[in-house]
Amino acid sequence: MNRVVTLTIAAALSSLAFAGVSRAESLGMNTAQGIEQTLRTFQGNDFNVEQVHNWRNLDDESTGPRSAPERSGQAVRGIQASIDANRSLAHRLNNEGVDVRNIVNAEQAADGSLTFYVR
């Protein structure tokens, strides 16, 4: 009986430790579905915009980072639609001079900030 109580307490403490883990730290945060959900609900101002390189010409390193993976056309449209659904985010991006139609990728960092990649 004592062993059962000890295991129950240990399990409860473990679940409390993970209760504070934010969504940004989850493994699926940058999957197509994860980033779209984040974009629909994002309320912060903690984002930056990066130019992407030409994915088809890997010798072209002068136009942007290599860290942004290429997304499928469907995933890009999903990202753009999610931004359009979040009017305040779309407005903030527009104020920064970013045309949502030029966004080809978005990634969320563990701290919750976003990086938008534009062509």
Q: What percent of the chain has pLDDT over 70?
A: 64
Give one DSSP letter per residue of the chain, joined into a string: -HHHHHHHHHHHHHHHHHHT--GGGSTTTTSHHHHHHHHHH---S-EEEEEPP-TT-TT--TTS-S-SPPPPHHHHHHHHHHHHH-HHHHHHHHHTT--GGGEEEEEE-TTS-EEEEE-
Intervals of the chain under pLDDT 50:
16-24
pLDDT, position 71: 86
Q: How far apart are the C-alpha atoms of 112 and 8, rounded to whole Å?
A: 32
**pLDDT value, residue 70:** 78
Residue-averaged pLDDT of the chain:
78
| CA 105 to the chain's CA centroid | 9
Retrieve residue 27's tokens. 């493994």
pLDDT of 32 reads 81
Q: Are 103 and 83 in contact (CB under 8 A)?
A: yes
Model confidence pLDDT, tens digit, residues 83-107: 999 999 999 999 999 999 999 999 9
Q: What percent of the chain has pLDDT over 90?
A: 47
What does the pLDDT read at residue 80? Answer: 97
